[in-house]
Amino acid sequence: MKKERRGVIFNPGQLRFTHVAQKDVYVPNLDRDLHCFAVWEDGLCVYDRIAEHMDAHFKVLCSMEVQWSEPCLVQNARRLYQHYIPYTGNRAFHGMHHEKIGSGRFRFIILEDPDPQYRYEQTTSGFVELTNTNILQAKNLYRSWVPLAFRVHSSGNPREFYMHAALILGLDRLAAILDGSYSPDGVLYKDLEGAAGWKSLDDLFRVLNVSVEYLLLRNYEELPQVPSDMDLDVLCRNYQSFASVANVRQYVEQGQPYRGLLNVRDQDISVDMRYVSDGYYDSSWQCHMLSNRILHKNFVYVCKEDDYFFSLLYHALVQKSSVKPEYVERLTYLAGRIGLRLWQPERLNTPDSAGLLLAGFMKGHDYVFCKPIDPGVYENKAVSQLLPQGNVLRHSILRARVKRILKFVLPAPIRARLNVIRYKWLR
C-alpha cells in the first residue's frame, strides 16, 4: 500500500449529540456513523453467521483478517481495552485480556449505520454513556452465539471507533478504507500503532489527534524535533485513554499511573499526563483549555495563546520555586501576542505583583487554586495564598455556623466589642 500523508479525519473534541424528541434518541453531528467489530479467535466459528447479519442491517465497508505478533499480544490487548501497562525495565508484564482474544488472529470489520440511534446505556465496564443501540444490540446478539464470553468486541460511539480503528489499522489505511480506495488483500500482519515504539512524533500525534482530547501545555515550540532532554506535559480528559493510545509505560507501582515513559525512535520520553479534576489546575479551567485548544502547525494540539500565557504564568509562579529565564521570555512574547498591556517582565521579580495579576485573572473567570493529586508538584505558598481558594465556600459556611453558636453563648456586650475589633482589623 502506498503511504499518503493525510490530515485529521476526526476531531474527538468536536463531537456533539442532538436529542431528537420525536424518536427519543440522540444523533451525532457527523455525516457518517462508523463502527468497528473485532471477532476474536474463539468467535470465528460463527463469523459467517455474523457477516450475514451485518450485511442485512448495516453497510459493511471492510472485513479483513488481522494477526498480532505473540510478543506484543498482551500489550496490544491491554491498550485496546484501555488498561494500564506498568513500567518495568524489561517491559515484561502480565494480563488477562489476551485470554479472550486468543492467539492474536481475529476478524476486523468496519461498517456504517445508516440510521444511528444513540441512547444512554451502561457498558460492560460500568460506564453510562451515549451508545449506538443498534450496534450494542448486534454485539450482544453475536456474543450470545459464542459459547465463551466477550469473544466479540465493538465500538459504541464515534470516539471509540476512530481510536480502535486508528490503532489497529493505522491512519493512512483507515482513511483509504473510508474513501473506498483500499481493499484488503490477505492477512494483515500488524500490531497496534506504536507497539514497538513510535517512528516519529508525527506518527504519535497523528494517532492521538483522532483518538483522544489532549493538548500540550508548554514547550512545544521546537517540535517535531526531539531534544535529548525532552519531556511532555499533557492535559487530557482521561489519562488512561491517552496512555493506552500513546503506549505509555506507566508508573503504576509507584502509585502514579498518570506519569510514565513513551518511546520515540528508541528514545524514552518522560510524560506527565494532567487530567480534568486532578487539581493541577482548576477543573473548569482545564475543561476550558481543552474545549478551546488549537491545532499547531497541523501537527499537535496546544492551548490558545491567552490560555497558554495564564497557564504558563500559573505554572511558573505557583508550581516552581523560581521562574525559569526562558519562561520570562516566553511570557513576554505571549503577553504581546494577546495584547496584555498590564504585563511587565519586571513583575516576575516581585512574586506578589505577578501573583496579584494571576489572581485577578482567576477571579475574573471563577477559577480557584487547587491541591494537585500528584504529590510531586511543588507549591510556592507565597504565591498560592494570594489566589482564590477552592475552600472559600466551606469556610464561609463554617464561619456562619460559628457566629450562630456564639450568638447564643457570648453576652451581647462582648459580641459588640468583637465586632469593633474585627472592623478595625479588616480596615
**Within a domain: residue 105?**
yes
Q: Are 164 and 267 members of one domain?
A: no
Q: Are 21 and 164 members of one domain?
A: yes
Q: What is the CATH number of the domain that holds 142?
A: 3.30.70.141
3-state secondary structure 83-142: CCCECCCCCCCCCCHHHHHCCCEEEEEEEECCCCCEEEEECCCCCEEEEEHHHHHHHHHH
Q: Are 30 and 144 members of one domain?
A: yes
Number of structural domains in the chain:
3
Residue 19 has a pLDDT of: 96
Residue 9 has a pLDDT of: 84
Instruction: Read off the pTM.
Output: 0.87
**Within a domain: residue 312?**
no
Q: Are 215 and 121 members of one domain?
A: no
Domain boundary among the residues 223, 258, 275 is at 275
**Within a domain: residue 224?**
yes
Q: Are 190 and 210 members of one domain?
A: no
Write out the residue range of the structural domain in which residue 403 sits.
392-426
Residue 402 has a pLDDT of: 55
Cell for 285?
Answer: 479551567
Q: Are 61 and 124 members of one domain?
A: yes
Q: How many Å apart are CA 340 and CA 245, to the nearest integer?
A: 37
Q: How many Å apart are CA 105 and CA 189, to the nearest integer?
A: 9
Chain centre distance of CA 166? 16
**Within a domain: residue 219?**
yes
**Within a domain: residue 261?**
yes
**Within a domain: residue 168?**
yes
**Within a domain: residue 366?**
no
**Within a domain: residue 291?**
no
Domain boundary among the residues 259, 275, 291 is at 275
Q: Are 26 and 159 members of one domain?
A: yes
Q: Are 220 and 139 members of one domain?
A: no
Q: Are 204 and 170 members of one domain?
A: no
Q: Are 169 and 266 members of one domain?
A: no
Q: Are 175 and 33 members of one domain?
A: yes
Domain boundary among the residues 250, 275, 300 is at 275
Using DSSP, state whether 259 is helix, strand or coil: strand
Q: For helices 171-178 and 201-211, what crossing angle results, to 10°? A: 50
Cell for 155?
Answer: 465500538
Q: Are 190 and 237 members of one domain?
A: no
Q: How many Å apart are CA 42 and CA 44, to the nearest integer?
A: 6
Please name which of 391, 201, 397 lies closest in space to residue 301, comparing C-alpha atoms.
201
How would you list the strands of the sheet with 105-112, edge to edge? 152-154, 34-39, 105-112, 59-67, 188-189
Render each residue's pLDDT in the chain as its tens digit; 427 residues: 444 444 558 999 999 999 999 999 999 999 999 999 999 999 999 999 999 999 999 999 999 999 999 999 999 999 999 998 887 644 445 555 667 888 899 999 999 999 999 999 998 778 899 999 999 999 999 999 998 889 999 999 999 999 999 999 999 999 999 999 988 888 999 999 999 999 999 999 999 999 999 999 998 988 877 666 789 999 999 999 999 999 999 999 899 999 999 999 999 999 999 999 999 999 999 999 999 999 998 899 999 999 999 999 999 999 999 999 999 999 999 999 999 999 999 888 887 889 999 999 999 999 999 999 999 999 999 999 999 997 544 444 445 555 555 555 666 666 656 554 443 433 3
Strand partners, 351: none
